[in-house]
Chain A
Amino acid sequence: DIVMTQSPLSLPVTPGEPASMSCRSSQSLLHTNGNNYLDWYLQKPGQSPQLLIFLGSTRASGVPDRFSGSGSGTDFTLKISRVEAEDVGVYYCMQSIQIPQTFGQGTKLEIK
């Protein structure tokens, strides 16, 4: 199985400041079709997860443009240009290039 490793596990951020988190996979997520099969999800407290980014860098419908995804192969990054209070929660990456699909352990973003 592909192991997904996220860092940091906890990320305290001041509102208005940028934030960045990492996701690394034990195998390449780059398909021969050129797509990286890597998603980013946010689970706000008490809510179901919501898709932020798919195929490594494509923002899902309705996701603010302050969220951006980058990376290829085994190293990926989610960046928030200016953190807002509503961005608190746990961020998960997930790979879907290989079965079973696997999630990272999550990065918890909190407001300072």
Chain B
Amino acid sequence: EVQLVESGGGLVQPGGSLRLSCAASGFSFSTHWMHWVRQAPGKGLEWVSRINIDGGSPTYADSVKGRFTISRDNAKNMLYLQMNSLRVEDTAVYSCARGVLRAGGSCEIWGQGTLVTVSS
């Protein structure tokens, strides 16, 4: 079964850091682009970041550029999101998603998400 499972969310103070993880299983992880997408409570979807198959060319939303870093470990089938200098407005459910093989920018498989709450 194809599966993505996020972990690492929680409550953090403004200015703090968190590292999210996404464990992939049931497919060839190293052949797919991967994404992070977030959804603030009661709001719409916001694309956060994506990374290509070998970890090169990471890209980011303007709202997180310079604060968040996406990475992957193909040997461990793991995707990560290092989040620094967190702000209240970063509060959201963060989901990882797998890119379509022939259209890597499209998110075809999604995890259930992990909640990040930034509050003092």
The residues of A with any CB-CB pair to B shorter than 8 Å are 1, 35, 37, 39, 41, 43, 48-51, 54-55, 58, 60-61, 90, 92, 94, 96-97, 99-106
Contacts and interface: CB of A to CB of B under 8 A. Distances in A.
A31 to B, nearest CB: 11
Interface of B: 37, 44-47, 50, 59-62, 95, 100, 103, 105-108, 110-113
Given A1-B62, A48-B112, A48-B113, A103 B46 contact: yes
Given A1-B62, A92-B45, 9 more contacts: A41-B45, A49-B45, A51-B100, A54-B106, A60-B108, A61-B108, A94-B45, A97-B105, A101-B50
Contacts, number: 64
Nearest to B37: A49
Contact of A39 (B61, B95, B106, B111): B106
A51 B45 contact: no
Contacts of B95: 48-49
Contacts of B50: 101
A67 B61 CA distance: 30
B99 to A, nearest CB: 9
B100 to A, nearest CB: 6
A50 B62 CA distance: 25
Contacts of A58: 103
A43 B107 CA distance: 13
Top 5 nearest A-B pairs (CB, nearest first) are A96-B105, A54-B106, A48-B110, A101-B47, A100-B61
A61 B27 CA distance: 15
A51 B105 CA distance: 12
B105 A37 contact: yes
B113 A94 contact: no
A96 B106 contact: yes
A94 B47 contact: yes
B60 A100 contact: yes
A103 B111 contact: no
